[in-house]
Amino acid sequence: MAGERTVSILVADDEEGIRYMFSQLLGKDGYTVHLATDGDEAVAMAEREDHDVIVLDVKMPRMNGLDAWARIRQIRPNTPVVLITAHGSEEVGREAVAAGAYDYFTKPLDIMELRIVVKRALERRNLLRQIEARQQQEQLLREKLETAERERASLKARLMETRQLGKMIGSSAAMLDVFSLIQRVGPRDVTILILGESGTGKELVAQAIVDNSPRRTTPFIKVNCAAIPETLLESELFGHERGAFTGAILTKPGKFELADKGTIFLDEIGDLSASLQAKLLRVLQEREFERVGGTRSIKVDLRIITATNCDLPRKVAEGRFREDLYFRLNVIPITLPPLRNRVEDLPLLVDQFVGHFSEQFGKNISGVSPDVMELFVSYSWPGNVRELENVIQRACILTQEPRITVQSLPPEMRRDRASGLETPAGGDASRLIPAALFDDFSTPLAKKMETLTAKTERDLIVRALEKCSGRRQAAADLLGISRKSLHNKMVKYGLLNEKTGNEGDGNV
């Protein structure tokens, strides 16, 4: 048939009659026969062309068949070699077969045996070629998979570069706005006020600002104003002179002095007392202060970044925070959204924390199960990103599975999930709606209603399946829909592989 490959057989024998016999016999069977008169010639021909079968006489001048076979094995390791031995030399042939030759003949040659052995050798060669082709395909596939994995990793890295600033990650519009603002104000030597609930990452924002500023290589001093007793905070910030108070046996520089030429970050600034607010205002205005018990003014060159989780305007209105200080601090405000208002960032955050703690604890955890992610999306996260980090850390310690499951989550989160659609006391159904839907005004009302409707529909289907022990027809009847409609909705909400999707009575 046109396009089919011609079978090539190489025969090496110093007897012209043997060569002629092979040429005529195998030629009639449709094979192309190439003839060599000794081992040297056979090796040279094997180097030039890949034959399907090679037949070698053991006794030949210059290079005998065994030496030629040894050379050919190095050149064509997968080509079947058949040896021809003299009568009484069968032991040589058996040893050659044990060493890797395909088979051997003894003279005088049996024509039928010769044709059968050559045919079987060809079958072996075809099988080896198929194996080679499969191995090449597998190797090519592995290379393609490796290339795809490298490209995926490179793409992920590029995506993370656009979704990450310092140690913060996020793809939500709110976080991208925060990243953009940090990059714009970082190089500008202005005072910044970071606002946000506890656990949203205010210190990470301060660090990112410093890293994007000309002061990145200078001191960065952090002070949590709420963590230091008020009686010690003044000395901690401004330092003290020797003998300024009982126990002040040495002069001690304060945090403002230590931050000279660099940046100071004052967290929980809303907890400062009135006297400290006045001293801080002077630092902001004059860039100078006196140590506790001192009379000499100390000049400093620094950038001040502050943060709070309280409502400073409200404190100003109530007279608990100086209005002039508030305006000095609030030159550039950066507001961090709570985690419940940036749920689209959850997969990125979960992936980051799982990878970190999985490596830290020597585990191989690939991520979280779908029901865990669903729970995370609907949870209100009062502790924000810090709470999520703690939850993932706990789960990575406890889980024995390749993915984090609901059983590894804190009991209070599991209880929230188990409560499902139960109406709270007082019958206020609005409390079933995630707080994020009320707080996130960046989402259109129609989108909120679509999300709420889908969540309610899914929860009703789950409840119906649970009440009917997984029997779909009974659940469909309970819901007042057709069995096909129920099936389609289960596919839509990913319920087919969950426990609620299993048939309890065999009715598929």
Note whether 180 and 329 are same-domain residues.
Answer: yes
- Hey, is 299 helix, strand or coil? strand
Of the residues 337, 370, 391, the one at which a domain ends: 337
Q: Is residue 30 part of a domain?
A: yes
Q: What's the CATH number where 63 sits?
A: 3.40.50.2300
Distance (Å) of CA 404 to CA 217, 394, 413, 500: 40, 10, 14, 19
Shared domain for 386 and 401, answered yes or no, is: yes
Residue 401 structure tokens: 């599975």
Contacts of 156 (CB under 8 A, 6+ apart): none
Cβ-contact 376, 340 below 8 angstroms: no
Reported as a single tens digit per residue, the pLDDT across 170-203 is: 888 889 899 989 999 999 999 999 999 999 999 9
* Cα angle for residues 316, 322, 326 (degrees, 5° grid): 80
Are 296 and 374 contained in the same domain?
no
Does 328 map to a domain?
A: yes
The per-residue pLDDT for 321 is 95
Confidence grade of residue 415 (pLDDT, cut at 50, 70, 90): low
Paired tokens of 413: 């989160």
User: Do 199 and 279 fall within a single domain?
Assistant: yes
275 with 393, same domain: the answer is no
Q: Which of 240, 234, 237 is closest to 252 using CA atoms?
A: 240
Kindly state whether residues 180 and 294 are assigned to the same domain: yes
| Average pLDDT over every residue of 268-285 | 93
Q: Do 173 and 270 share a domain, yes or no?
A: yes
> For residue 2, is it within any domain?
no
Strand partners, 136: none
Take residue 300 and report the two structure tokens written for it.
Answer: 């400093």
Measuring CA to CA, which residue among 288, 302, 285, 296 is closest to residue 244?
296
Same domain for 245 and 394: no
Sign of CA dihedral 104, 110, 113, 118: positive
Q: Does residue 18 belong to any structural domain of this protein?
A: yes
**CATH code, domain with 497:** 1.10.10
Whole-model pTM? 0.54
Our CA angle for 161, 165, 171, nearest 5°, is: 70
Domain stop point among 297, 319, 337 = 337
Residues 198 and 322 in one domain: yes
Residue 286 domain-assigned? yes
Q: 298: which strand partners?
A: 289
Cα–Cα distance between 196 and 269 in angstroms, integer? 12
Element (H, E) at 75: helix 65-75
Per-residue pLDDT, 432: 46
* pLDDT, mean of residues 34-54: 90
Q: Which two tokens stand for residue 392?
A: 């993932």
| Cα dist from 128 to 80, 142, 433, whole Å | 10, 20, 65
Q: Is the pLDDT of residue 264 over 90?
A: yes
List the beta bridge partners of residue 9: 33, 53
CATH number at 249 reads 3.40.50.300
Boundary of a domain, candidates 269, 302, 337: 337
158-162, 175-179, 296-300: which has the minimum mean pLDDT? 158-162
Report pLDDT for 88: 63
Is residue 329 domain-shared with residue 469, that is, in the same domain?
A: no
Pair 119, 241 in one domain? no
Flag whether 508 is in a domain. no
What average pLDDT score do residues 53-70 get?
87
Give the burial class of 9: count Cβ atoms within 10 A of its Cβ; 0-12 exposed, 13-18 middle, 19 or more buried: buried
pLDDT of amino acid 424: 37
CA distance 508 to 505: 9
Q: What's the mean per-residue pLDDT of the chain? A: 84
Distance CA 339, CA 56 (A): 79
Inside any domain, residue 290: yes
pLDDT band of residue 497 (cuts 50, 70, 90) is: low
Pair of tokens at residue 136: 């090449």
Q: In which domain, by residue range, is 371 found?
A: 340-419
Q: Do 252 and 269 reside in the same domain of the chain?
A: yes
Q: Within 164-264, where are the H helices?
A: 173-185, 202-211, 230-238, 255-258
The one-letter amino acid code at 386 reads R
The reply to whether 141 falls in a domain is no
Residue 164 has pLDDT above 70, yes or no: yes
Whether pLDDT at 155 is above 70: no
pLDDT at 422: 38
Please give the structure tokens belonging to residue 302.
Answer: 């620094």
Q: What is the CATH number of the domain that holds 412?
A: 1.10.8.60
Question: What is the C-alpha to C-alpha distance for residues 432 and 412, in angstroms, rounded to an integer?
Answer: 16
Give residue 163's pLDDT.
Answer: 77
Question: Number of structural domains, the chain?
Answer: 4
And the tokens for 241? 């002179």
